[in-house]
């Protein structure tokens, strides 16, 4: 019988699992939102619902940082089409999920 420790021996935390992922960040952002006219943006929803914490409120503006994006698409779903440019990163760029 093997006495080797298994990764399943201790409870897994979501934060630990997510830290295993690797990002190859593209120099060109794959998501853009307007900084000048943010009328119609669901700013608080973006800040509270983005699982990667890419959105931050500064005063009454929402700032966006694409580097740690999980590419889940949530912000695309909750933002009017004319207020967001959302594409997947170029091939080979962006997040590489690690499941082990």
Q: What is the contact mask toward ligand SF4 in residues 38 to 77, using x (rule: CB under 6 A)?
A: ------------xxx-x--------------xxxxxxx--
DSSP helix/strand/coil, 38: coil
Q: Which two tokens stand for residue 29?
A: 């952002």
State yes or no: residue 84 binds ligand SF4 (CB under 6 A).
Answer: no
Shortest Å, Cβ 86 to ligand SF4? 7
CA 62/CA 65 separation, integer angstroms: 10
- Residue 63 or 74: the one with the smaller Cβ distance to ligand SF4 is 74
Neighbours of 32 (CB within 10 A): 14
Q: Contact residues for ligand SF4 (CB under 6 A)?
A: 31, 50-52, 54, 69-75
């Amino acid at each position: 019988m093997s006495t080797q420790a298994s990764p399943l021996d201790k409870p897994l935390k979501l934060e630990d699992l997510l830290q295993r992922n690797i990002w190859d960040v593209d120099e060109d952002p794959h998501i853009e939102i307007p900084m000048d006219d943010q009328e119609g943006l669901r700013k608080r929803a973006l800040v509270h619902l983005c699982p990667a914490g890419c959105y931050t409120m500064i005063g009454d503006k929402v700032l966006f940082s694409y580097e740690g994006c999980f590419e889940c698409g949530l912000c695309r779903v909750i933002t009017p089409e004319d207020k967001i440019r959302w594409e997947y990163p170029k091939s080979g760029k962006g997040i590489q999920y690690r499941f082990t």
